[in-house]
Every structure is written in C-alpha cells, then in structure tokens.
Amino acid sequence: MSKYGSFPGTRPRRLRTTPAMRRMVAETRLHPADFILPAFVREGVSEPVPIGSMPGVVQHTRDSLKKAALEAVEAGVSGIMLFGVPEDEKKDAVGTPGTDPDGILQVALRDVRAEVGDELLVMSDLCLDETTDHGHCGVLDDQGRVDNDATLERYAEMAQVQADAGAHVVGPSGMMDGQIGVIRDALDQIGREDVAILAYTVKYASAFYGPFREAVGSSLKGDRKTYQQDPANVGDSLRELALDLEEGADMVMVKPAGPYLDILARVADASDVPVVAYQISGEYSMVEAAAEKGWIDRDRAILESLTGIKRAGAQNILTYWATEVARGLR
C-alpha cells in the first residue's frame, strides 16, 4: 500500500510499451490491397499536367497513366479508378464524350487494360460532369434542372461503352434515383454480367470537392444540392443504401470519408456487400498544405487518416496516396 493509496491493478499501458508490442495488439491494420488509386487522364496533352490545388497529383497523358497503373500493380494496390478529362470543345449538353467509344475515358480504359490485364481492377467513373458543358452530372431539362430519367438513359449507354472498353467495375457517381438498377439492366442486356457496380451510395454535397473540380476541368455553374445529399442527414444515407442493395449494387461507397466517419460506420454495420470510402481531394489537399507549412507530420497524418477510415468500417479506400502508402506498407 502506497502512502498515496492503492496502485492500479489493471495497467493498459503495458500493451503500449514498445513498437513491437503496439504492432502486435493493433486492432486495425492497413494493407496495400485496401487501396484504390483515383487517376485523371486528360485528352490532348503531351506531358502530365500538375493540379495546382492537389500537390503531387497530375492530369495524366495516356502514356503516364499506363506507367501509374503499373506502379500501382507493383505496390500491391487493388484498383485504379479512372476519370477522363476531354478537350473543352468536345463537351456538350448531353456529355457526348462519355458515350463515344473514342472518348478519352474509353481510350484510357483500353490502354490500362492492355497494360495490366487483370492484375489491377480497372474501374471507371460513370458520370456526365466531366463531359458536359454545363458541368452537371446529368442532362438538363428546359428549365435548367437535372432530369433524372433522361440522365438514366445516358448512364445506361455509358455503362455499356465502358464495359466494352474494358472496365472491370463501373462507378456511377451522379446520385440519380434508380441508377444502379438501370445500369445493371444495361450491362446484362449486352451479356456483361461479369462487370461489377460500385455504387456511390452516400455522396454528400460537400465543400471538400473543390480541388477535384480543378482536376477534372469542371464547367459547373451553381451547385449539386438537388441530387447530392444534405450533410445534415443520416437517415437519407441508410435509405439510399437499402435502395442500392435492392437494385443490385456489388459494392457501396461513402464519400467523402473523413468528415463522415459516423455515416461510414452506420453503412458498414447495415451492408452485406463490401463498403468502400473515398478520401477525397479536399481531405488530401488539407494534409498536403498543412505539411508544406510544417504544421503537421505529413506521413503520420496520412496513415492516421487512413487508419481512421478503415477502423470506421471501410474495406477499401480510394485515396490519392494509394501507391505511396502501399509501397511503404510493403
């Protein structure tokens, strides 16, 4: 008995004493296979174009994209999600480059599949925002509103063209009602039951998308609050999850990841398919900017943020650090 009273009988600190001890008892572990690399490919450029608001990330040429895909394979990354950036003069009201077999995204899908085959899951963004002159994720009606059902027809065409170009997985990100069911039917109609659908089930109208809009050369005027979700709502996300699962989603996504870990945990608890989270451009850029200022330890912050996302329930994570972190883990 100490003069200060009884010493504690239970000492949790014993399991924190050394790096080996902490590693052994860790409850959450990151693995290279957890990661999916988002990548941008831009039409008509001869050199990769740096994205000013995302230090270290570029708009790839076709050749540099193939190199990035090979590097991802070598690092043990599971997938690469491709976003095509067409030349501005090719954009129009209905996003024609999105269904043109020779559109930049379809060309890039063929390039990457030829380069990596089945060693890397080749995924494609299925949305119109990069290809429309108004920058919205769908077709507009005569009052300038996004027409849900007319957009679904475009998504069906996009799914078929992307599957023909070699996508293992399509990722419809436009948040149109009924999009998963329509895309599943469109793929089945051309005998592509093998192509998986990664549903953007939870996609909030977030301020953290800012750098991404530079990355894809967005032409958006206004906002997407009539189809992306209100950050104040939880039940809306669970309703979207139920609908996407009923319509045939093979995987579901929560986006953004970091600001919505509570939503991610709720979705993971309720889902019987793999759950993916997207650590988006704003999350990436905040860490890079603070690290550049010397305000935080960059490498520790990256790993901590990714560990938090996985701990909350994500089986896989889209992150711009995918290849870098996977290399470090290996």
If one counts every other C-beta atom within 10 angstroms of the C-beta of residue 228, the result is 20
Tell me which residue has tokens 């939503």.
263
User: Distance (Å, rounded) from C-alpha 282 to C-alpha 218?
Assistant: 15
Which residues lie closer than 8 Å to 259 by C-beta, 6 or more apart?
A: 206, 208, 231, 283
Q: How many residues does the chain have?
A: 330
Q: Active site includes 3?
A: no
**64-90 burial: b if 16+ Cβ within 10 Å, else e:** bbbebbeebbebbbbbbbbbbbbeeeb
Q: Active site includes 203?
A: yes
If one counts every other C-beta atom within 10 angstroms of the C-beta of residue 123, the result is 26
User: Distance (Å, rounded) from C-alpha 297 to C-alpha 288?
Assistant: 10
Exactly one of 225, 255, 293, 310 is catalytic; which is it? 255
| Chain-centre distance for alpha carbon 27 | 25
Which residues lie closer than 8 Å to 6 by C-beta, 6 or more apart?
A: none
User: Distance (Å, rounded) from C-alpha 58 to C-alpha 38?
Assistant: 11
Exactly one of 66, 91, 203, 310 is catalytic; which is it? 203
Encoding tokens for residue 78?
A: 């599971």
User: Distance (Å, rounded) from C-alpha 103 to C-alpha 85?
Assistant: 9
What residues act catalytically? 203, 255
